[in-house]
Amino acid sequence: MRASRSSIGPIAHAPSTRAIAYRGMTAPSQYNTMDQVTEPTALPFDYNDVVFRHGTEAHGLDYSILRDEYRDVHPMVADRFAAAGTSPILDMGCGPTTLGALLDERGASWVGLDAAIRRLRRGAGPRVLGAATRSPFRDETFGGVAALYMLYHFPDPFVPISEAFRVLRPGGLFAACAPSRFDEPELAPFLPPQPPETFDAETAPGLLSRLFDVAGVDSWDMFLYRLPDRQAAWNYLVSRGATPDVAEAAARAVDYPLWLTKRGSVVWGRKAAG
Ligand SMILES: C[S@@+](CC[C@H](N)C(=O)[O-])C[C@H]1O[C@@H](n2cnc3c(N)ncnc32)[C@H](O)[C@@H]1O
């Protein structure tokens, strides 16, 4: 297994201290930690809900301090697929086809696959409704497969990872990404105890290496979101699972702007050639 580490995009100017004043709140006392579940748990599939996650589509990105073209991993992933010349590319769990639009700009052919009709309707381009556990494609169809921010929805993410392996040609490239289990440490005092997810930046290299040669790990660990005021903090905390009451108390207790540290990785896998 070969792995390299690098950073994604430029680190925009960020404050030099991580100290947050939790005025009048002592953490982590807001929830009953006796209820804590430690078994890895799949995130719920809520993408066909009429009101998707409290009505906000990309609440986090609204607060990103990076320039538009660096807002998330998609441009970097599209660049690497295009540079490798590994088309066509299957985007598993493509959602509203963010990656597909960037692949179009780079002249790489692709097809999206998603299990949520509401998400597919928000996208454009070639896309198929279906499950990533049993895709409708023949063996060795694709030169690249992406699974961005989606493997944590599976009780056993090795099932869609195996499906990616099956549809990839020998020598093909697989990209999977997820946040770290240590993402957004500043919010931990205010969120209910969360079990680890079934797929995260910590488990990704090991899981991929069961089938692939790990061909790189692009990680980020930086102040990335800036919550400007109380309303922004309340919205964000509720979208992350805080109760409205705790969000209200927390939003009153912190100083603004509130900076959030984002952590995660894109892990690249290569299917052995022949
Ligand atoms: C957080 S979104 C990520 C969307 C996109 N990959 C991106 O990075 O913008 C997760 C996506 O995975 C899709 N998804 C979840 N479970 C799936 C499954 N079993 N088969 C196919 N798609 C699935 C959801 O519908 C959703 O669009």
Q: Is residue 89 part of a domain?
A: yes
Summarised one tens digit per residue, pLDDT across range 49-59 is 655 554 444 56
Is residue 132 within 6 Å of ligand 1 at its C-beta? yes
Please tell me the predicted confidence (pLDDT) of residue 23. 44
Crossing angle for the helix pair 244-253 and 230-239, nearest 10 degrees? 140
Distance of CA 225 to the CA centre of its chain: 15
Spacing, Cα 28 to ligand 1 middle (Å): 31
Spacing, Cα 26 to ligand 1 middle (Å): 36
Q: Is 165 exposed, middle or buried (0-12, 13-18, 19+ CB in 10 A)?
A: buried
Q: Is residue 30 part of a domain?
A: no
Q: Is residue 15 part of a domain?
A: no
Q: Determine the Cα angle at 93 with ends 90 and 94, to 5°.
A: 65
Q: Are strands 168-179 and 5-7 parallel, antiparallel or unpaired?
A: unpaired
Q: Is residue 27 part of a domain?
A: no
Q: Is residue 58 part of a domain?
A: yes
DSSP assignment of 83-116: HHT--SEEEET-TTTHHHHHHHHTT--EEEEES-
Spacing, Cα 104 to ligand 1 middle (Å): 20
- Rounded distance, CA 154 to CA 164, Å? 14
Query: Could you identify the atom of ligand 1 that is nearest to the CA of residue 131?
Result: 20
Q: Which residue out of 43, 64, 90, 114 has the highest number of ligand 1 atoms within 8 Å of its CB and is therefore the one to mutate?
A: 114
Is residue 81 within 6 Å of ligand 1 at its C-beta? no
Q: Tell me the mean pLDDT in the region 151-168.
A: 98
Q: Is residue 60 part of a domain?
A: yes
Residue 158 has pLDDT above 70, yes or no: yes
Cα atoms in the Cβ-side hemisphere of radius 13 Å centred on 60: 13
Q: Tell me the mean pLDDT in the region 192-207.
A: 92
Residue type, 4: S
Summarised one tens digit per residue, pLDDT across range 27-40 is 444 454 444 557 88
Q: Is residue 16 part of a domain?
A: no
Query: Could you identify the atom of ligand 1 that is nearest to the CA of residue 147?
Result: 6
- Rounded distance, CA 153 to CA 11, Å? 29
Domain assignment of residue 149, given as a range = 38-270
- Count of the separate structural domains present in the chain: 1
Distance of CA 86 to the CA centre of its chain: 22
Is residue 94 within 6 Å of ligand 1 at its C-beta? yes
Among protein residues, the one with the nearest Cα to ligand 1's atom 14 is 93
Spacing, Cα 227 to ligand 1 middle (Å): 26
Is residue 45 within 6 Å of ligand 1 at its C-beta? yes
Domain at 260, CATH number? 3.40.50.150
Among protein residues, the one with the nearest Cα to ligand 1's atom 16 is 153
Among protein residues, the one with the nearest Cα to ligand 1's atom 13 is 93
Q: Which residue has the tokens 């990209």?
A: 175
pLDDT band, residue 248 (cuts 50/70/90): very high
Please tell me the predicted confidence (pLDDT) of residue 274. 76
State which of 21-35, 120-134, 227-241 shows the largest mean pLDDT.
120-134
Residue 61 has pLDDT above 80, yes or no: no
Residue 131 has pLDDT above 80, yes or no: yes
Spacing, Cα 267 to ligand 1 middle (Å): 17
Higher pLDDT, 51 or 215: 215
Among protein residues, the one with the nearest Cα to ligand 1's atom 8 is 148
Q: Tell me the mean pLDDT in the region 238-244.
A: 85
Please tell me the predicted confidence (pLDDT) of residue 211. 98
Is residue 266 within 6 Å of ligand 1 at its C-beta? no
Q: What is the mean pLDDT of the chain?
A: 84
Is residue 150 within 6 Å of ligand 1 at its C-beta? yes
